[in-house]
Structure 1
């Protein structure tokens, strides 16, 4: 059965990467919850999407940390802000999570003020939720910016594997996936643990670790049959941008399937595309409702189109929409049509 993966929890409804976002994803039925981790100054993984804390916490409004603001070069780009690796975990605990898109998700912003959890705390929390739910809750985790963190002496993959081992999630049969847009970090994880690995893919560029090393490899090259076979040597699946599965044209109209799903399956890889969101701003034109970018469209219908295309799971900000799509797709009376 295709997996429903709660992207940063169920962050269409709650601020991302918070315990209440993960709890809601589980309540709504997600099979896995996805999260991102970055290291603190004292080497503790915290659950945040970016090295820069500016957009997802209240750090910019905290005068006691004003002098921590600086510019760092991360993945080849200059970023101005406040960085997790400049704060101890005790200091990060004083920060409060905020909605990254308050204009788009005003309802979620009402839940601003949540604590920033550590990765270890989150794994403990999810184990408790799994016990209460009476079912396994999978973890899908991305160590962010691994090349950057390795360059400053904070190998994030090492910290990740340590926390997974402490939580008993470091076996090949654990309900756990480690994902990365880079390649070498997945090889390093493979050298330390049997936990399953997933190669993330974007559009129009390539893995930053290879770019930094002078290798012009592009994700488009990795989607060829030979590229997919190479991925299958170190990963069990791919996580492509959804446009790499079902393309749209410049007007937002559906342009057709790309052939990536059957090619990946031929190589023995599953396909979990990202990210499914219900707002019109993120939907293909056939699924939009009205012209307001923040209005909810028919996200469930878009998810169902991808399930019909043969994907093995979906990363979604709106777990309930993906669950409804899966229920519709599973109906015995459904009629499969081409997209």
Structure 2
């Protein structure tokens, strides 16, 4: 950071104590999702990219094949993220389905090729593609779908490959759980068997509960998430591992915590707390609604998470100020830079008590409407830019433990360097 900025920042800092811990980062579909998916989501490349940029947990969506094999991908419609539409042998299986996501947002109509219509052997012949380049991405056609168990083994391996201080956690979701149950492909039992086989817990002798204390202490944390209350309630009968209730960002989804879609109902939140240890809220919520839901969740004894953030330092600051424990990120390279900026804001007293009534009423505006002098605002922005670009430069190949070129075990170094440069542009 330029030395000239230090006096400005010190002089501008408000003397408000802070008690909030640094945000934990969840690599959404690996850590480079949304408009950043130059690598195929849920591929080894995506997980390695998130790991090399410092995520704390990596998120897989878990779905099923026709023959009950669990694998990782965001949705059960496969043409968005694979080359299945180019396979002549599968052309006659293109169809239209009406699917209820089970999250309270209602039904959706989709046309394409669906995982439940293909065996795992057939799915394993497909190759993944980025959602950004319309089938012509730099890493398209290289990676195949991963079984859920394969994904967990690979994430465990990544911790050693990037010399992580602590093992990466995983944050798996039982995706479309209600839908898969309705077609006789329930996820939960096989989901827990896979988690136990990967060493995250062990089955109690002569019992059926997958108990965390029987697991391998060397593994990272694991959090079990779902939009479907029924799935979380089922998991509660099968394990004592922590569960996370995802709240949908659509207006109908708010009915889980609101009867009028305007105010949070504490009783509804308390009901969620009977089967969930954590509440994950969408950042698409109005800031006041988000803040009120955060308070209600904490009052019910739940830890609060958020989904998701791309590259908005104000939003990171808002979440940190509210005491949100973790957030999904679609752009891990930027997120780490934003976190460095927020650490400085905390150290300088810029972030106050997120649970105060003042913060609840102001929501996200507390950052931009701060009493700090205009000169300090300029300094913070400048510092954020310096931190971000410094971090980006440090993550170039050949810069030590975050060297992405060491992680692409299925492609050669030149291919990785080319893909990294395309991202940097």
TM over 0.5: yes
1:124 Cα deviation from its structure 2 partner? 0.6
* Residues 137 and 175, structure 1, Cα contact 8 Å, conserved in 2: yes
Indicate the structure (1 or 2) with the bigger Cα radius of gyration: 2
- Tell me the equivalent position of 1:253: none
* Residues 314 and 322, structure 1, Cα contact 8 Å, conserved in 2: no
The SS at the match of 1:179 is strand
- Tell me the equivalent position of 1:225: 266
* Residues 139 and 176, structure 1, Cα contact 8 Å, conserved in 2: yes
The 1-side partners of 2:338 and 2:286 are apart by: 17
The SS at the match of 1:57 is coil
The 1-side partners of 2:299 and 2:350 are apart by: 25
Q: 1:312 aligns with which of 318, 321, 325?
A: 325
Q: 2:303 aligns with which of 263, 267, 270?
A: 270
TM-score by length of 1: 0.82
Q: 1:198 aligns with which of 229, 236, 244?
A: 244
Q: Are 1:8 and 2:29 an aligned pair?
A: yes
The 1-side partners of 2:95 and 2:127 are apart by: 20
Q: Are 1:115 and 2:144 an aligned pair?
A: yes
The 1-side partners of 2:310 and 2:110 are apart by: 26
The 2-side partners of 1:18 and 1:223 are apart by: 37
- Tell me the equivalent position of 2:153: 124
Q: Indicate the larger mover: 111-120 or 47-56.
A: 111-120
- Tell me the equivalent position of 2:315: 302
1:4 Cα deviation from its structure 2 partner? 0.6
Pairwise CA RMSD: 2.3
Q: Which has the higher contact order (CA 8 A, sep 6+)?
A: 2
- Tell me the equivalent position of 2:191: 160
* Residues 31 and 49, structure 2, Cα contact 8 Å, conserved in 1: yes
The 1-side partners of 2:234 and 2:283 are apart by: 27
The 1-side partners of 2:246 and 2:329 are apart by: 15
The structure carrying a bigger strand percent of its residues is 1
Q: Which runs of 5+ in 2 are unaligned?
A: 1-20, 101-106, 202-210, 214-219, 353-365, 368-425
The 2-side partners of 1:240 and 1:261 are apart by: 8
The SS at the match of 2:184 is coil
- Tell me the equivalent position of 2:67: 42
- Tell me the equivalent position of 1:180: 226
1:205 Cα deviation from its structure 2 partner? 1.1
* Residues 244 and 260, structure 1, Cα contact 8 Å, conserved in 2: no
The 2-side partners of 1:120 and 1:64 are apart by: 28
